[in-house]
Structure 1
Amino acid sequence: MVNIRALDPSASPLDYFGSELRRKREAAGLTQKELGAIVFCTGSLIGQIETTLKVPTREFAERVDAALMTDGFFSRLVGLVLRSQLPTWFQPYAEMEAKATYISTYQAQMVYGLLQTEAYARAVLATGMPDRLDELVAARMERQRLLAREQPPLTWVVLDEAALHRPIGGREVMRDQLAHLLSFRDDRWVRVQVLPFRAGEHASLIGSFNALRFADDPDIVYTEDLISGHMTANPDTVREAALRYAHLQASALSVEDSAALIIRVMEERYGHQPAAEDSDVAEVQL
């Protein structure tokens, strides 16, 4: 006799997803193998998700909704499931980030998480040697959905030139990542500026930081150390961060010149051949 693992639906969003998947599958009179065939996966994967051994993807949740006719139930729930896979210390920030109307960030070492490609994110997250890398990558991709909302937050990124040159994940990954940055050139809600090496000393040599602004709540400043993150709404800290960010923006290249630099780095370091529409931008004098 098969030993069916008992789940406590109240233990976590993942447990709730698994128990509901099992309950609704059985109510539909389907075996794990039969449901797997409908949603293009194995019955074993269905079983692993039902018993929380695997974390569902958004695509999986959408297919299950269609197969079981659950009116978007699993698609709505999967967001909570994926957010719960973020490190415990990061989850409060992710919740505030999702509520923000304006996000400003200076990134000294790497591309900002909301603008990372999946391959680049995987290479970055792997450096922490996590036990469940796939789940962390899926959670980071889920975070990025806030940029696709009908009313997304205005997101302003000042990216140190070092992040363009550091070959995270290898040449192909970097080429795709820089191309992804360029895809935001015509996005009215996302602006990317590059702080060039020639700027020399600047207002945030101490490191990266994020600032969040809300419609009805106090502004927040967020920083990270080696193993955790820190949020504060202290007015003095918020004011100091705003002042430093203004100086960073003033020292950075314009959005247009930043795009030209990104294209140049793609060509020189990662073998990118610019398309015709990129050539006009590349002619900007840096």
Structure 2
Amino acid sequence: MTHINILDPGASPLDYYGFELRRHRESAGLTQRQLGDIVNYTGSLVGQIETARKLPTPEFSERVDAALGTDGLLSRLTMMVMRTQLPAWFQRVAELEARATEISTYQMNMVHGLLQTEAYVRAVLGALDDTDLDDRTAVRLARQRIFNKEEPPVFWMVLSQAALYQEIGGPEVMREQLAHLLSFEGDARINIQILPFSAGAHAGLTGSFTLYRFEKDPDIVYTEGYGSGHPSANRATVKNCSLRYDHLQAAALSLRDSADLIRCVMEERYGEQRDSDGDPVA
């Protein structure tokens, strides 16, 4: 007799997801393998998700919602599951991202997580620890789904030129990442400005920070240290960082000139190298 792991749906959002997945699958009269065949995943994966041993991805949830007619239930649960898989100190920040109407960030050394490609995420997260890297990567990428909302936030990023040259993951990863940044040209809701080396001393020398603005709630500024995050609604702190951000935007290149610089670095530093015969060099 096959042992069936009975989940306590109240134990965690992941357990609740697995419980609901199994309940709806069995109501549809499908085995794990049959459902897997329908949504193009293995029955084994379905079983692992049902028993809370594997994280569901947004793509998996969307396919299962369609297959089982669950009206988006699993997709909604996925966002809750993913958020609880973030480090405890960062979970509140993910909630701020999800509620904000405008996000303004200054980044010194790397692209903000909301605009990172999958390969770039893997390189960042795996720099010192590659355990559970697939799940940790999926969790970070899931945060980007705030841009798929009916009313997504307006996002501004002032990015130091140094971040374009910080070769995270190698030339191919960087080429893809910079191309991803360029894909937002013309998108009024996602705006990227580069703070050039020529800006010299500037208002962001003390470190990266992010400002969150909301429809009704007070603004919040967020700074980060090693293994800790520091959101603050202190009015003086928020006012100071807002002023700093205004000065950073003024010192940064225009949106068009920023795109031109990103394109130039992508082609000159990370472009495909070829030999004298025009063939790509490995």
Instruction: Indicate whether the TM-score tops 0.5.
Output: yes
Which residue in 2 is equivalent to 1:225?
225
Q: Which is further off, 260-269 or 22-31?
A: 22-31
Structure 2: gaps (5+ residues):
274-282
Give the count of matched residue pairs: 273
Residue equivalent to 1:20: 20
Give the C-alpha shift of residue 39 in structure 1: 1.5
- Tell me how far 1:22 sits from its aligned partner: 1.4
Query: Could you tell me whether the CA contact under 8 Å between 1:105 and 1:156 is conserved in 2?
Result: yes
Decide whether the 8 Å contact of 1:105 with 1:209 is kept in 2. Answer: yes
TM-score normalised to the size of structure 2? 0.93
Q: Which amino acid aligns with 2:60?
A: F
Within 1, Cα distance between the matches of 2:70 and 2:6?
A: 23
Could you tell me the percent identity over the aligned residues?
A: 63
Give the secondary-structure state (helix, strand or coil) at the position aligned to 2:103: strand
- Distance in 2 of aligned mates of 1:182 and 1:143: 20
- Is the CA contact 1:211–1:219 (under 8 Å) kept in the aligned structure 2? yes
Structure 2 CA distance, aligned partners of 1:51 and 1:8?
10
In 2, the alpha carbon distance for the partners of 1:247 and 1:33 equals: 57
Q: Cα distance, 1:131 vs. partner?
A: 3.3
After superposition, what is the alpha-carbon deviation per residue over 1:143-195, rounded to whole angstroms, capped at 9, x for unaligned?
11212333221111100011101111111111111011111110011111101
How has the CA–CA distance of structure 1 residues 272 and 103 changed in structure 2, closer, same or farther, with 3 Å as cutoff? Answer: farther
**Hey, what does 1:71 align to over in structure 2?**
71
TM-score (norm 1): 0.91
Task: Identify the residue that residue 189 of structure 1 maps to in structure 2.
Answer: 189
Q: CA deviation at 1:8?
A: 1.0
Q: What residue number does 1:236 align with?
A: 236
Q: Distance in 1 between matches of 2:83 and 2:268?
A: 38
2:129 maps to 1:115: no
* Match runs of 1:199-278 below 5 Å: 199-271=199-271
Q: Which residue of 1 is the match for residue 165 of structure 2?
A: 165
2:88 aligned with 1:51: no
Gaps of 5+ in 1: 274-286
Aligned partners of 1:62 and 1:263: how far apart in 2? 34
SS of alignment partner, residue 229 of structure 1: strand
Is structure 2 residue 155 aligned with structure 1 residue 155?
Answer: yes
Partner AA of 1:12 in structure 2: S
